[in-house]
A and B are shown apart, each in its own frame.
Chain A
């Protein structure tokens, strides 16, 4: 029953929270760059305006893939807040992302095509680490269910510092932040043409934005699980992590895809080293 409540709350509240966080993000970013920045609610105005625009497409099918993307992102996040199996949730997110990539392929446009390929490279870069994060949390909490991970009294972060650091690296990819925002970026200074979202406009682009908010909330939830033994520390840690990501976003420039791929895979190696030590401790007698 708790699970269904969590899922429903996520489906309703996540876009609001996600939009709000995006607004705060833009404000902090602006301050870091010495600007005043837009109002906190600006992301909502932007998305609202997108939905008022005329629907223009290159091919009709592109709308279908974006709807599928949004639906599966929301659904996967809902499974997470319902306390489901974390590995299944990770794979459900992969399914959602494949839909976005297919949408970009479907339009048959040079920029969108390159964006799609680069998005796939990103998926390939972050997937190992995110699976290992799930495995790490399992090793600490003894269960793959998010509900059990959230209820654990063990301070997971103390056992999984390497996993957490690795996750922080790939979080930059997932939040579409520099230096790993190779498929599309929030910032105009990174690119002139918008990568994977080049051919999406109006309501369709609005849907992609909302999906992104949903996903960000899931990611912050994932970060929270490392600190779940103490909710106060947990919320603070999530905030600190996010601000750190904004900081890194503002002090780095986009790298080439080779570096992004190596970065993600080296982060996973760090995670594996952490897990190896942990499992040695578990078998070895600690």
Chain B
């Protein structure tokens, strides 16, 4: 239990310390050392509990509960103050409603709010802890130098780095708390901390746009928070025999129709936090924040809290119409967001839509909730966290070099920033190509959905969705590898330090393919076995094939050596006109003209304007349907 408490409390300690550190070098030392400690502790956690199954701890609840209540009230006051300051009345209203509901809950059912075990750890929590502890803290390390450069580029933004790193580490602590808590009151407390943290980080630059988007994120997540409290009240009000607010007992409860109502409400909170449609706009708006914030929100924190809770409740959703409906929300989100990604040329928006799509897929797996789908969902969470954090950090580094986040401007990156281009290449490959993890999970998901009644609709969604996914990633990759002539190499002069996190995460993307059979057999499969009584995994033959493919991919670059000698270079074909290597050709009247290449964005078919609203409407209907279906089942 000490490790768990360390992982929750130590980041808070670091956060408070960082409030007072002003010099970048000192801050870098503090952040790097604590990242090492947090990452190390999460690996120690793995060693300690990987083979133990679920372990429960009766952490002190009286004092902690009171402190949490006090903090919740202070935070509600803070939201009301901010809402009043920026005239955002929905935020005030929701904060008031939520605070009132919490007070009502505490006053009416004080005796039902105690769980026998407040903390716990199982294989799923270990996986989440590793993601938070390793990816999250690497992003924090990267952020130190990034923020220094950021303020250099944006002198107009007020320097509040002390606050920035305080919130970042508080965020990490809250995520640890969330995945370790067995008392749903505690889960809710940490849930709210992540909401406030993201609000503060998104609004960091204090521009009108940032403030507006921060409030949008806040309002949408508070909506989910209200649903969460409603679920808590429902659980506290029903017979404690069906579980009360003890997560493990709720999940194990035989009274599934009774539990389905709070599960759907908490699922709704998960949908808002995971930015599924119609709540995707908060995550899209969040890209106004400095890039490390996006990396944090998209990969290891925030949205992952949303899908974590959905996957936790998957056994309750399994086989119910309400769960199926939630799964469809995910499925529709997956296909619509993937399609819209085609029409985007802003790298961060492509990444954001791809995140939304993958969260949708995870939600689809969790909503339908069979054992194979839960296996696929956890795998998706792991691989997505690793690859997506790399892509965001890479985009941030590129943006600081080339002054743009437009994919068209990344043409020829392989010449201008070779190391960075290779890392981005690996990150993108990690998102959609065999034998990398995301694809393995999609493949497993298709094979799992076929075996579910009415699963065909998800198979169809996945079939179209993966086709669309190939298109938007491959054309980005194509831009990166285009060999342009006559451009300058601009990689040098970059501060040394931020590369370390990038190298490590790139290594993790590749290593994940090799270690995934072990991750699956030691962590995911036992977890699925414990919950469902059956388990699943990939067949040995398929694992062998994947490892063979990966080994080949790593070997193939050696073939470059073969081509060294065969060099007769000609300029590209320009309809027979005299041309130079940098795509200039002899036009009419003796003029030299330049040809340019641009990607297809197919806006008429896949534009945001055309697809977003229909997707949001369908998902809203499906969410309402999930509530009605849960109510009817009662």
A interface residues (Cβ-Cβ under 8 A, vs B): 54-61, 63-64, 67-68, 71-72, 75, 79, 84-85, 87-88, 91-92, 94-95, 98, 101-102, 104-113, 116-117, 120-121, 123-129, 131-132, 135, 138-139, 144, 193, 198-199, 261, 265, 268, 272, 275-276, 279, 283
CB of B330 closer than 8 Å to a CB of A: no
Known contacts A105-B478, A106-B482, A283-B453: does B552 contact A57 (CB below 8 Å)? Answer: no
Q: How far is the CA of A261 from the CA of B464 in the complex (A)?
A: 12
CB of B63 closer than 8 Å to a CB of A: no
Q: How far is the CA of A243 from the CA of B447 in the complex (A)?
A: 33
Q: Identify whether the interface residues of A are mostly helix, strand, loop, or mixed.
A: helix
- 6 pairs of residues in contact across A and B, judged by CB atoms under 8 Å: A94-B470, A106-B414, A110-B572, A111-B573, A121-B600, A272-B456
Known contacts A58-B571, A91-B443, A121-B471: does B583 contact A110 (CB below 8 Å)? Answer: yes
Q: How far is the CA of A124 from the CA of B467 in the complex (A)?
A: 5
Q: How far is the CB of A128 from chain B (nearest CB, A)?
A: 4
When the two chains form their complex, are residues B475 and A120 in contact, meaning their CB atoms are under 8 A apart? yes
Q: Which residues of B contact A67 (CB under 8 A)?
A: 556, 559
Give the residue of A85, A131, A272 whose beta carbon is less than 8 angstroms from that of B542. Answer: A85
Identify the closest chain B residue to A144 (Cβ): B447
Give the residue of A84, A98, A104, A106 whose beta carbon is less than 8 angstroms from that of B433. Answer: A98
When the two chains form their complex, are residues B583 and A68 in contact, meaning their CB atoms are under 8 A apart? no
Q: How far is the CA of A261 from the CA of B573 in the complex (A)?
A: 28
In the complex, given contacts A102-B474, A131-B466, what are 20 additional A-B residue pairs having Cβ atoms less than 8 angstroms apart? A57-B569, A61-B483, A67-B556, A72-B552, A87-B443, A91-B434, A91-B443, A95-B434, A106-B482, A111-B573, A120-B471, A123-B470, A123-B471, A123-B474, A124-B471, A128-B463, A128-B467, A131-B446, A268-B464, A279-B456
Identify the closest chain B residue to A261 (Cβ): B605
Give the residue of A85, A87, A198 whose beta carbon is less than 8 angstroms from that of B539. Answer: A85
Q: How far is the CB of A138 from chain B (nearest CB, A)?
A: 6
When the two chains form their complex, are residues A61 and B481 in contact, meaning their CB atoms are under 8 A apart? yes
B interface residues (Cβ-Cβ under 8 A, vs A): 412, 414, 433-434, 439, 443, 446-447, 450, 453, 456, 459-460, 462-464, 466-468, 470-471, 474-475, 477-479, 481-485, 539, 541-542, 545-546, 548-549, 552, 556-557, 559-560, 562-564, 566-575, 581, 583, 595, 597, 599-600, 605
Q: How far is the CA of A98 from the CA of B468 in the complex (A)?
A: 13
Q: How far is the CA of A277 from the CA of B546 in the complex (A)?
A: 34
Identify the closest chain A residue to B467 (Cβ): A127
Known contacts A55-B566, A111-B573, A193-B573: does B560 contact A64 (CB below 8 Å)? Answer: yes
Q: How far is the CA of A144 from the CA of B451 in the complex (A)?
A: 12
How many Cβ-Cβ contacts under 8 Å join chain A to chain B?
184
Q: How far is the CB of A13 from chain B (nearest CB, A)?
A: 21
When the two chains form their complex, are residues A131 and B481 in contact, meaning their CB atoms are under 8 A apart? no
Identify the closest chain A residue to B477 (Cβ): A102
Known contacts A75-B552, A88-B443, A95-B434: does B466 contact A127 (CB below 8 Å)? Answer: yes
Known contacts A64-B559, A95-B549, A123-B470: does B571 contact A131 (CB below 8 Å)? Answer: no
Give the residue of A92, A111, A117, A129 whose beta carbon is less than 8 angstroms from that of B549. Answer: A92
When the two chains form their complex, are residues B572 and A109 in contact, meaning their CB atoms are under 8 A apart? yes
| Nearest 10 pairs of A and B residues by beta carbon | A109-B572, A105-B478, A127-B467, A128-B463, A59-B483, A55-B566, A91-B434, A131-B463, A113-B597, A124-B471
Identify the closest chain B residue to A55 (Cβ): B566
Q: Which residues of B contact A275 (CB under 8 A)?
A: 456, 459
Known contacts A58-B572, A128-B463: does B470 contact A71 (CB below 8 Å)? Answer: no
Q: How far is the CB of B486 from chain A (nearest CB, A)?
A: 11
Q: How far is the CA of A132 from the CA of B475 in the complex (A)?
A: 24
When the two chains form their complex, are residues B568 and A54 in contact, meaning their CB atoms are under 8 A apart? yes
Q: Which residues of B contact A75 (CB under 8 A)?
A: 548-549, 552
When the two chains form their complex, are residues B595 and A131 in contact, meaning their CB atoms are under 8 A apart? no
Q: Which residues of A contact B453 (CB under 8 A)?
A: 283
Q: Which residues of A contact B563 (CB under 8 A)?
A: 57, 60, 63-64
When the two chains form their complex, are residues B456 and A87 in contact, meaning their CB atoms are under 8 A apart? no
Q: How far is the CB of A113 from chain B (nearest CB, A)?
A: 4
When the two chains form their complex, are residues B434 and A94 in contact, meaning their CB atoms are under 8 A apart? yes
When the two chains form their complex, are residues A98 and B467 in contact, meaning their CB atoms are under 8 A apart? no
Identify the closest chain A residue to B442 (Cβ): A91
Q: Which residues of B contact A109 (CB under 8 A)?
A: 572-574, 583
Give the residue of A58, A79, A131 whose beta carbon is less than 8 angstroms from that of B545. Answer: A79
Give the residue of B478, B548, B570 whose beta carbon is less than 8 angstroms from that of A101. Answer: B478
Q: How far is the CA of A139 from the CA of B446 in the complex (A)?
A: 12
When the two chains form their complex, are residues B552 and A108 in contact, meaning their CB atoms are under 8 A apart? no
Q: How far is the CB of B370 from chain A (nearest CB, A)?
A: 16
Q: How far is the CA of A75 from the CA of B468 in the complex (A)?
A: 24
Q: How far is the CB of B44 from chain A (nearest CB, A)?
A: 36
